Amino acid sequence: MQQAIKYEIPEIDLVIVDLYPFEETVTLEADRP
């Protein structure tokens, strides 16, 4: 953090969003023969 202040690097807020319907896909795959 001290280096970020030293070099005047702004703080970054990181938001990660996973829009992949994982649970639904697993359920659909399990229903296949």
Determine contact, residues 24/31, Cβ cutoff 8 Å: no
Amino acid in position 23: E
Question: What's the first-to-final CA gap in the chain, in angstroms?
Answer: 54
**In the block, residue with structure tokens 């702004």:** 10
Is the pLDDT at 21 greater than 70, yes or no?
yes
Number of domains within the chain = 1
The pLDDT value given to residue 13 = 86
The pLDDT value given to residue 1 = 80
**In the block, residue with structure tokens 């795959």:** 29
The pLDDT value given to residue 28 = 75
Residue-number span of the structural domain to which 12 is assigned: 2-31
pLDDT band at 32 (very low <50, low <70, confident <90, very high): low
